[in-house]
Chain A
Amino acid sequence: MSPAHETRTRTTAKTSEAPKAAKTPGASKRVRKSDGGSAPDRSGAAHRRDLLHAMLRIRRFEERCVELYSAAKIRGFVHLYIGEEAVAVGVNEALTPDDAVVSTYREHGHALARGIPAEAVMAEMYGRTTGCSGGRGGSMHLFDAGRRFYGGNAIVAGGIPLAAGLALADRMRGQSRVTCCFFGDGAFAEGEFHETANLAALWRLPLLFACENNRYAMGTALERHQAQTDLALRAASYGMVSWAVDGMDAEAVERAAHRAAEGIRAGAGPHFLELRTYRFRAHSMYDPDRYRDKAEIERWKAQDPIERLTDRMRERGELDDEELAAVESRIDDEVGDAVEAAERAPEEPAGSLLRHVTSAPTEVG
């Protein structure tokens, strides 16, 4: 974390914008429990084991996706998160089931960390009825209203204004919930980010901007798409608390996200985290990845968030091979079951094509 980027929160709150005390009763009725709900002791070995499990689960799930993609079981654009797992897992630790998450097209990690069952995510990649979007979304459009997981947006930066609206609704009803919006360094160049940053800071919205700076927008390096590559510095100019964080360290991400979420819940307005990370794989399954040299990728792979945490735990004597094998085998089973279930799941009938275009019942035709 570089505290140099921390700006003072605005002290000139408008009286009309003061948080209201009353909660709207029953507003969180539809929210089910997710994995992110309870992490009382965040420093202990058990907690580190949870982080490791969560990251490994995402990694193995996606490695399986690669195989399935090669076998033409899943299609479309598939964007892997491999290398960035510490970001989704660390940020999720700061969120409760009542909070909201807005995601991008590189969202398997966000979805799994949020607690959407691997089975529902995998079934969606297969385009099956049991998929978390009923087969209409695919890899880039995962949704789970019950878990307040609002996509799944394949328009770069398109989810950012929407996140401001979720936060605005909470603000207007005096709820102390956080909306977390993930987006990339590429999205930082879009007007939608800057419009929303201004709006959120102006209205002191309870919004966490989680910027995944993996240094590339498809094939364009950060230096070639941002005039000022210090993104936290620029975000700070909107009057938001902004930190740059080592995004390859799950515990560091978690600490920063926690501090930010606490600030947001306390009414300090939006916070911005620049999570400095790297994707080990190509941008998507179609990308031959000709724009990065091998040495750079290897340098970052040496920072693998899973290995870093594993090493840390081994050094402390918190993890042995047997335990790690047990974790791996649990994940293997889960992912295997998810694939099997997806294979078995029914496909949506073509006659259901026009369902969910509007809320009105489908006309059969």
Chain B
Amino acid sequence: MGTSRTDERKTTYREALREALREAMRSDDRVFLMGEDVGRYGGCFGVSLGLLEEFGPERVRDTPLSESAFVGAGIGAALAGMRPIVEIMTVNFSLLALDQILNNAATLLHMSGGQLPVPLVIRMTTGAGRQLAAQHSHSLEGWYAHIPGIRVIAPATLEDARHMLAPALADPDPVLIFEHGVLYNASGEIGPPAASADLDHAAVRRSGTDISLITYGGSLPKVLMAADELAVDGISAEVVDLRTLRPLDGETIAASVTRTHRAVVVDEAWRTGSLAAEVSARIAEGSFYDLDAPVERVCGAECPMPYARRLEEAALPQPSDVVAAAHRAVD
């Protein structure tokens, strides 16, 4: 990832997502894509470019700026047997549809005593790193991971971008897909789906024996860089990519900590009340006696995301922060 050779077999995260969408719409005519500017504009991050031409405006639907209405409409269409994929431009805007996601999508199955599953997929961008300031940069997927009744996934690799959509569509319950904004241009050669394309398991992206670096989404490339640096220092770091934020794969986390006896949790979101807090708590609950050091957390600074580059960098977890945390745990 991150390199830019123009090898023909190379693809990008953006193209991998598009390929997954194309495959989904070709293979099931109940599938349609709906959201602001997904059609003529090609998606505000270019993910759906060209799909309108192939599938037409019925199935690649530009919506008004009405997050609540079109997310709710996705829920209703799913109830009626369609397989909608709703795109929300960024997680910040999804707050205007939070009522529909939480009070309808996540609860209808339970409130109806099992009668109304909502087979809906919602995709949205998350995260910082592009100097978009506070209203376009936050990482709120941890809030969604708080909610029972939905599944929350965060593809971090090209393979996951390409292969997680199909099982998400096959899931009878609502699935939220968080695409980190800095990943869209990531490019590389696409391999077979990592592990299986099932949505229940975290993936070990790099094996190691001295410490577990646990992360997901846009932080994965940074954590892999940190692991490279640590290797130079003679520390063997295992990198766990959570992939699915709800339900969390506690077993893979515990198994890794059992091997390494140390853990650093890396999450771009705010530390207080974060997903990183949840992962740390699980390690404390289930793997306390395996630990040789306190769990370390590397999270985003507790401030609204600033615009200025230097400040934004300071607000985000950087590989050097991860390296420092790992040293604190190991030394």
- Interface residues of A, Cβ cutoff 8 Å to B: 14, 16-17, 27, 100, 102, 131-137, 141, 143-145, 150-153, 155, 158-170, 172, 179, 191-192, 195-196, 198-199, 202, 355-360
**Is B72 on the interface with A (CB-CB < 8 A)?**
yes
Residue of B nearest to A152 (CB): B111
**Is B81 on the interface with A (CB-CB < 8 A)?**
yes
**Is B80 on the interface with A (CB-CB < 8 A)?**
yes
Q: Chain A residues with Cβ under 8 A from B149's Cβ?
A: 357-358
Contact (A192, B111) CB under 8 Å given A150-B79, A155-B99, A162-B104: no
Q: Are A153 and B104 in contact (CB under 8 A)?
A: yes
**In the complex, which of the residues A141, A152, A161, A172 contacts B58, with contact meaning CB atoms closer than 8 Å?**
A172
A6 to B128 Cα, complex, angstroms: 50
Q: Are B104 and A195 in contact (CB under 8 A)?
A: no
A191 to B113 Cα, complex, angstroms: 29
Q: Are A355 and B114 in contact (CB under 8 A)?
A: yes
**In the complex, which of the residues B32, B64, B108 contacts A199, with contact meaning CB atoms closer than 8 Å?**
B64
Can you report 18 A-B residue pairs in the complex whose CB atoms are below 8 A from each other? A133-B115, A137-B113, A159-B104, A161-B68, A162-B73, A162-B100, A165-B72, A165-B74, A165-B84, A168-B82, A169-B79, A169-B80, A172-B32, A191-B68, A196-B73, A199-B70, A358-B109, A359-B171
Q: Chain B residues with Cβ under 8 A from A160's Cβ?
A: 69, 72
**Is B208 on the interface with A (CB-CB < 8 A)?**
no
Q: Are B112 and A161 in contact (CB under 8 A)?
A: no
Nearest chain A CB to B242 CB, angstrom units: 18
Contact (A136, B115) CB under 8 Å given A162-B73, A162-B104, A357-B149: no
Q: Are B69 and A145 in contact (CB under 8 A)?
A: no
Q: Which of B68, B72, B81 has the most CB of A within 10 A?
A: B72
Residue of B nearest to A165 (CB): B76
- The contact size tier of chain B is 35 or more
Nearest chain A CB to B113 CB, angstrom units: 3
Q: Chain B residues with Cβ under 8 A from A14's Cβ?
A: 57
**Is B116 on the interface with A (CB-CB < 8 A)?**
yes
Q: Are B111 and A164 in contact (CB under 8 A)?
A: no
A196 to B63 Cα, complex, angstroms: 11
**Is B172 on the interface with A (CB-CB < 8 A)?**
yes
**Is B152 on the interface with A (CB-CB < 8 A)?**
no
A66 to B319 Cα, complex, angstroms: 64
**Is B148 on the interface with A (CB-CB < 8 A)?**
yes
A358 to B112 Cα, complex, angstroms: 12
Contact (A136, B111) CB under 8 Å given A195-B66, A195-B68: yes
Q: Chain B residues with Cβ under 8 A from A159's Cβ?
A: 104
Nearest chain B CB to A115 CB, angstrom units: 15
**Is B3 on the interface with A (CB-CB < 8 A)?**
no
Residue of A nearest to B97 (CB): A161
A198 to B71 Cα, complex, angstroms: 14
| Contacts A136-B113, A162-B75, A165-B80 known; 15 new A-B pairs at CB < 8 A | A145-B112, A151-B108, A162-B72, A162-B100, A166-B79, A168-B76, A168-B77, A169-B76, A192-B68, A192-B99, A196-B66, A199-B63, A199-B64, A357-B109, A357-B110
Q: Are A158 and B103 in contact (CB under 8 A)?
A: yes
Contact (A198, B112) CB under 8 Å given A165-B78, A168-B77, A357-B149: no
A172 to B10 Cα, complex, angstroms: 36
**Is B117 on the interface with A (CB-CB < 8 A)?**
yes
Q: Are B110 and A165 in contact (CB under 8 A)?
A: no
A135 to B111 Cα, complex, angstroms: 8
**In the complex, which of the residues B73, B100, B108, B112 contacts A168, with contact meaning CB atoms closer than 8 Å?**
B73
Q: Which of B63, B73, B110 has the most CB of A within 10 A?
A: B73
Contact (A196, B69) CB under 8 Å given A165-B75, A356-B113: yes
**Is B312 on the interface with A (CB-CB < 8 A)?**
no
Q: Are B80 and A358 in contact (CB under 8 A)?
A: no
Nearest chain A CB to B73 CB, angstrom units: 4
**Is B56 on the interface with A (CB-CB < 8 A)?**
yes
Nearest chain B CB to A177 CB, angstrom units: 9
Q: Are A199 and B99 in contact (CB under 8 A)?
A: no
A266 to B205 Cα, complex, angstroms: 57
**Is B238 on the interface with A (CB-CB < 8 A)?**
no
A195 to B76 Cα, complex, angstroms: 15
Q: Are A199 and B77 in contact (CB under 8 A)?
A: no
Annotate B81-111 by CB proximity to A: 1 below 8 A, 0 otherwise.
1101000000000000001100110001111
Q: Are A143 and B116 in contact (CB under 8 A)?
A: yes
Q: Are A198 and B66 in contact (CB under 8 A)?
A: yes
Q: Chain A residues with Cβ under 8 A from B63's Cβ?
A: 199
Q: Are A359 and B117 in contact (CB under 8 A)?
A: yes
**Is B173 on the interface with A (CB-CB < 8 A)?**
yes
A152 to B107 Cα, complex, angstroms: 12
Nearest chain A CB to B171 CB, angstrom units: 8
Q: Chain A residues with Cβ under 8 A from B68's Cβ?
A: 161, 191-192, 195
A129 to B5 Cα, complex, angstroms: 62
Residue of A nearest to B82 (CB): A169
Q: Are A166 and B76 in contact (CB under 8 A)?
A: yes
Contact (A199, B69) CB under 8 Å given A152-B111, A161-B75, A165-B74: yes
Contact (A137, B69) CB under 8 Å given A199-B64, A359-B172: no
Nearest chain A CB to B71 CB, angstrom units: 7
A137 to B173 Cα, complex, angstroms: 19
Q: Are A358 and B104 in contact (CB under 8 A)?
A: no
Q: Are B74 and A141 in contact (CB under 8 A)?
A: no
A166 to B108 Cα, complex, angstroms: 14
Contact (A161, B69) CB under 8 Å given A100-B80, A166-B76, A172-B32: yes
Q: Are B99 and A141 in contact (CB under 8 A)?
A: no
Contact (A27, B81) CB under 8 Å given A144-B115, A145-B115: yes
Nearest chain B CB to A289 CB, angstrom units: 27
Contact (A137, B111) CB under 8 Å given A161-B100, A199-B70: yes
Residue of B nearest to A169 (CB): B80
Q: Are B73 and A164 in contact (CB under 8 A)?
A: yes
Residue of B nearest to A348 (CB): B113
